[in-house]
Copies of this chain bind each other. A is one copy, B any other.
Amino acid sequence: MNFYSQDLRISTRKRIEILDITEEVYRVVRKSGIKNGLVNLWVPHSTAAIAVNEHDTDLWEDVVNVLQKIAPLKGDYQHNAKYGWSIREQNAHAHILNCLIKPGVSIPLENGRMLLGTWQSILFIEMDGSRSRRVHVQIMGE
């Protein structure tokens, strides 16, 4: 059993934004030399998240629209009221959506390939940008 891990650094530019990080993750997978096991992605943030879905910027706008219906940016949040003096802390929507979308995913790795289907890309979902973000890539296997 081998372990390999590396942080990806991501700079987001917009308040809410979806970025495809599949290639960056694959670079770490190849560097690891591990062929079979599990690729564990982990976002050590509470206002960004990870999903695995199609690379389609039109679809991404649809995703963002629904997320904003679930938890609107300008909702009536106690978290935001408490930090009313701080523009940076008006982000309850992002915390709430992180509880639903989740900050991690485990993707099976076999023969050096992550088992992503044709329409599956690894998507980083920024919900309180712009910010500097990290995605921890941990590969365990053989």
Q: Does A32 sit within 8 A of B, measured CB to CB?
A: no
On whether the beta carbons of A79 and B66 are closer than 8 Å, the reply is: no
Q: Does A70 sit within 8 A of B, measured CB to CB?
A: yes
CA distance A101 to B51 in the complex (A): 10
Q: Which of A40, A99, A105 has the most CB of B within 10 A?
A: A99
Q: How many copies does the complex hold?
A: 3
A102 contacts which chain B residues (CB < 8 A)?
51-52, 102, 105
A interface, size bucket: 35 or more
A51 contacts which chain B residues (CB < 8 A)?
98-99, 102
Closest to A5 in B: B110
Q: Does A8 sit within 8 A of B, measured CB to CB?
A: no
